Structures are given as C-alpha cells and as structure tokens.
Amino acid sequence: MKSAIRLENIEKSLGNRKILKGISFSVETGDIFGYLGPNGAGKTTTIRIILGLYKIDSGDLEVLGQDIESSDTRKKIGFVLDLDGLYDGMTARENLMFYSRIYGMVLAEERIGQLLDMVELTGRGDDKVHTYSTGMRQRLALARSMVHDPEILVLDEPTSGVDPSGQIQIRKILLNLAKKENKTIILSSHNLDEVQRICNRIAIIDGGEIKLYGELESLRQGMGKSGIIIKASENITDYMIGEIKKLPDLGLKEVKDNSLVFMPNKEKATSDIISLLSSRGIKVEEAIKQEASLEELYSKILKGAEGS
C-alpha cells in the first residue's frame, strides 16, 4: 500500500534563507501524524508544500501517489490553517454551503446536517458564526474542511486558543475521522499532550531538518525510561530485596519504602512480575506502567540539537 503523503529530500528556500534542508518522511493511510517543532523550524513551509501553495526547490513529493500539481489530487485534501476561513456574518449552514460551491458541488441539506452533527454543532447550525466561541469555530472549520469528503486532512494548530473541554471534543472528532472513516490526518501542533493522546506516528523538525521520525510508542520506549512501578501493601525487607535481585530478568532499578521500580526484559509482562513477587511473599497493591512522555522525548531531541 502506498503512503498517503511521501516527502523525500525536500529542499526549499525563501529569499536568501534555506528553510527546508532535505527533509524526508511518509504519512501512512489512516495515520494521525504529529508534525512537531519550535517556531521557525519549517513546519508551516512543509504544510504549504504539501498543499501545493509552495513549489519545492528539489526533492520528491507525492500525495496519494500523485503529483501535488494535479488539481484532482488537491481536491482530495482538506485543510485548516491559522485562519479558520469562516465568514462571521453567515450561519454555519451558509458557510458550509458556500464552501461546497467553491469545490464545485452543492451539498444536500442532509449532508450539511451530517457535517454539523459530526462536529456537534447541530443545535447551532442556524446561528451566525460571530456568536461562536473559539472552540465552536474550530469545530466548524473542521466541518468546512470536510465538505468535499477529502481523503487527507492537513491541520495547523486545530486546538489553539480552545479551552480544555473544546480540545477534548476536537480530539474525539479527529479520532473518529481516522478510525471510522479512514481519513489520513497530518497535525501540526505545539500541544504535546494533544499529540501524545491521538497521534500514532510523529516527526520532529528543527532548523529545517528532521530530528526524529517514526512510531510514537516505539520512540518513547526507545528512550529507555519505560518501566513498571510496583507498590506493595507493606514495607519490603532487605531479605525480600535480596530474593528479587536473584531474578535479574526483572531489572530492579530502585527501592523506596514499599515501592519497587523495574525495567524488565521485554519478554517479562507486568503479570509475570506480580506473580514472581507474590511467590517471594510480597503482596502487590498496585502496578503502574511507566513510559517516557512525548514532552521528555521532544526536550531531549531539541536539547541534543542545540548541543550539536
């Protein structure tokens, strides 16, 4: 199966400044792909290239296996950029109808109703957009990006300025689009918690170069901070610790009062550890899986880039 988006050795300069320095990554069909990096790293330039707004200086770009210059290809992409593109004096329904005509189609009232329902705005569909909160505007912008039923969505900071409850709603919408409708989503964001919650693959760009790229869970595990915290119902004696140390596969790293921290071999599951501890007389009260956060991963990569 071909990648939905493939960039290979893309270079781009604006004026005398080289913005992208040979970047390469792929976004697979059905991904929610997080594209991360500090301000000025090259994220916006990359997005504009994917949308066909900028031409590349060199390299190779494919979207759905085709050249982005093709009008047929562009019709298969929806987007929400820093400006939501909504008209304040129109209602939500009128905005959706207006954009459907831009894409050369006239949406049936039923389809507009489906879009409003998708973004949980059915009850406000006939209200003027200037009455909407930031979160409502962002949800309507998502519906606007979907009027032509695109295969790919490109979203730049879709929850910027949105309150926590609005962020939850938008995350739910994006997950539904990817899982139920098999949409491919590329999400540029500074909100690392949001990315960690919904993205399955990421790329981190800094200084126009890709510093990290791959499956998020594998990258987090690769940091070496993944482990298991076991809390016992009573303090752990020196004898018990000695017994545990006889089992090197468990990877005991730390003991504090009634808590043990393990970084076990990959073959050892949490249930195996609990069973082995129980056999040594340790009553387990709680087991917590610990993994490196995306924030830790991001900080490590950018700190390494600064020191290089």
Residue 35, in any domain of the structure = yes
Looking at residue 27, its pLDDT comes to 96
Give the tens place of pLDDT for each residue, 249-276.
777 777 877 887 777 766 666 777 788 7
Mean pLDDT throughout 28-46? 94
Distance CA 146, CA 267 (A): 44
SS3 91: strand
Residue 182, in any domain of the structure = yes
State whether 215 and 232 are in the same domain: no
Between residues 211 and 251, which one has the greater pLDDT?
211
State whether 108 and 81 are in the same domain: yes
Backbone angles phi, psi at 175, to 5 degrees: -65, -40
Give the tens place of pLDDT for each residue, 136-156.
999 999 999 999 999 999 999
- Least confident segment among 46-50, 69-73, 99-103, 137-141: 69-73
- Least confident segment among 122-136, 234-248, 261-275: 261-275
> What's the first-to-final CA gap in the chain, in angstroms?
37
* Cα–Cα distances in angstroms (integers) from residue 42 to residues 63, 124, 207, in the given order: 19, 37, 7
Residue 212, in any domain of the structure = yes
User: pLDDT > 70: what percent of the chain?
Assistant: 94
For residue 281, is it left (φ>0), alpha (ψ between -120 and 50) or beta? left
Q: Which residue range(s) make up the domain with 214?
A: 5-221
Q: Where are the alpha helices (DSSP H) in the chain?
A: 43-50, 71-74, 92-102, 109-118, 134-145, 164-180, 192-198, 216-222, 238-245, 270-279, 294-307
State the CATH number of the domain containing residue 258: 3.30.70.100
State whether 137 and 241 are in the same domain: no
Between residues 140 and 101, which one has the greater pLDDT?
140
Looking at residue 224, its pLDDT comes to 56
Looking at residue 308, its pLDDT comes to 45
Looking at residue 276, its pLDDT comes to 77
Mean pLDDT throughout 95-109? 85
Share the mean pLDDT of the chain. 88
Distance CA 163, CA 169 (A): 10
Mean pLDDT throughout 51-69? 92
Distance CA 269, CA 82 (A): 44
Mean pLDDT throughout 185-204? 93
Nearest to 138 by CA among 184, 191, 192: 191
The total domain count for the chain is 2
pLDDT tier for residue 207 given thresholds of 50, 70 and 90:
very high
Between residues 121 and 305, which one has the greater pLDDT?
121
State the CATH number of the domain containing residue 114: 3.40.50.300
